Structures are given as structure tokens and as C-alpha cells.
């Protein structure tokens, strides 16, 4: 999360115009949105006992379990053609090459312009990201969610985070719910986090992460003027990254 904040600083200072970052998590971690109260989403002590991290994202959205996935971030100036316009328009612009990247792998997907929310129950806490569909999120043709995303805009810079599911580990959030969750709400959440989610390896069992990364690179390169070039991110390591890492809120 600190590294994505660093990329925002790089873009803000004009050193880069557009950055697509692809990464993973080791060990597994739960992230919560920047406006969330983590104690309403997860049981911290339970996560800690299991060796699972907990971090706050600089983007919005809700709780996500990060494990069997390819995570991406898009960072750009807010006036960049790839992300400019109102939130819904920016979501659609980024979603199109994401969907194309999955199609390049041979998996048919759809984009839905409307939000669909499933809740645990009246006044119940803990409604993870993958229990709902945001605007222009990528899903399987039967409507199940495949990619979850969230945005942030800060001082002229756009950031979008997203999780492209290789496998469905989201159901593991149910092992670490806060105690107020009722049994009936937990059952509804389990249904949404199993039957409502699609994964890449469901369609291509032996799919490698590297194949997904290459497809993302090709898809975004196609829609960006001049394409994308790989960057040596080790050049960004130093005092600023160290400071952002210290400042990054680990909850």
C-alpha cells in the first residue's frame, strides 16, 4: 500500500504520467477501505492469531481477502485520457482493458453499468467487497463477480486498486468475522462469497499468474498512446518509500 502511495507521488511530481502495477501478497492479508471501521469488518485478534495481516487501503471500497489473486493498481494524472471524467466514466475506461485482458486469455466476461449490493442483514456489520458488484466491474457472463475494484483521487492524482481472482479465497473472511454477526447473516455471506464469485482458474485450471500479467500488459498497451514500458521499480526504493511505509496505517 505504501508503494502505491509512492506511485501517486511520482505521478504528482510529473515523473510518470500513467503506471500499471501488478503484484501479489505474501503472506495472505485483509485490506479494508480508507473509510471503513476495521472492527466492524473483521476480528483483529482472530486474524493476528492466524498470522494474517490487516491493512488500510488508500482507496475506498470494502474488505478484501488477498491471497489467490493478481492485484493491480492504476495510477495517473486525473486529466489523463485513460482515467479522466466522472467516477463512473473513469471506472468504465479502466474496466475495458481489464475485461479485454481476461478475454485475451480465452475467458468471456461482461461489464455491468449498475451497482448490485448484497447485505448481511439489517444493521449487520461485515459486508465484504465481493458480496456486491460496483459500477463497470468485470464479471463472468452469468453475472458472478470476477474483479473487484476501488478508486481514490487525491491532489490531482487518480488511483484504482483491483483484485483479479485466480481462486476464491474470499470465503476465508468468514473465519474472522466480528462477533456481532448473526448465524443467519453469516449464512447469507457464505452464499454470496461462494455462489456469487467467479475465478480465472475455474475456466483455465492451470493458468499461471505470469500469463495474466502479460495479458494485462498487452491490453493496456493497446489502449495507451505509446504503449507501456517496464520500469525498474528498485530505483524508487529509498527515503521516501521508507517514510511512506512508516506512515502507512496497518490496522
So which residues are the catalytic ones?
129
Q: 8 CB contacts (<8 Å, ≥6 apart)?
A: 58, 75, 154, 157, 159
Is residue 31 within 8 A of residue 63, CB to CB? The reply is yes
C-alpha cell, 37: 471501521
Q: 109 CB contacts (<8 Å, ≥6 apart)?
A: 99, 102, 103, 138, 139, 140, 141, 146
Is residue 116 within 8 A of residue 196, CB to CB? The reply is no
Report the C-alpha gap between 157 and 12 in whole angstroms.
6
Report the C-alpha gap between 150 and 153 in whole angstroms.
11
Amino acid at each position: 500500500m505504501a508503494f502505491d502511495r509512492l506511485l501517486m507521488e511520482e505521478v504528482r511530481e510529473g515523473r510518470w504520467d500513467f503506471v500499471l502495477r501488478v503484484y501479489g501478497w505474501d503472506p495472505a492479508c485483509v485490506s479494508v477501505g480508507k473509510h471503513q471501521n476495521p472492527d466492524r469488518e473483521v476480528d483483529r485478534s482472530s486474524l493476528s492469531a492466524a498470522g494474517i495481516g490487516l491493512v488500510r487501503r488508500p482507496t475506498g471500497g470494502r474488505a478484501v481477502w488477498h491471497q489467490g489473486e493478481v492485484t493491480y493498481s492504476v495510477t495517473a494524472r486525473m486529466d489523463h485520457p485513460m482515467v479522466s471524467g466522472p467516477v463512473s466514466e473513469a471506472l468504465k475506461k479502466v474496466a475495458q482493458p481489464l475485461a479485454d485482458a481476461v478475454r485475451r486469455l480465452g475467458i468471456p466476461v461482461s461489464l455491468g453499468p449498475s451497482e448490485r449490493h448484497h447485505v448481511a442483514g439489517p444493521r449487520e456489520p461485515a459486508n465484504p467487497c465481493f458480496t456486491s458488484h460496483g459500477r463497470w466491474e468485470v464479471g463472468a457472463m452469468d453475472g458472478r463477480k470476477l474483479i473487484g475494484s476501488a478508486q481514490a483521487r487525491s491532489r490531482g492524482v487518480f488511483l484504482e486498486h483491483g483484485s483479479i481472482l485466480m481462486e476464491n479465497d474470499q470465503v476465508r473472511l468468514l473465519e474472522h468475522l466480528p462477533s456481532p454477526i448473526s448465524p443467519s447473516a453469516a449464512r447469507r455471506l457464505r452464499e454470496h462469497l461462494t455462489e456469487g464469485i467467479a475465478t480465472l482458474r475455474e475456466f483455465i485450471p492451470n493458468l499461471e499468474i505470469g500469463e495474466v500479467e502479460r495479458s494485462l500488459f498487452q491490453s493496456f498497451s493497446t489502449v495507451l498512446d505509446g504503449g507501456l514500458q517496464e520500469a525498474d521499480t528498485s530505483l524508487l526504493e529509498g527515503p521516501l518509500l521508507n517514510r511512506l511505509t512508516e506512515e502507512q496505517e496497518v490496522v
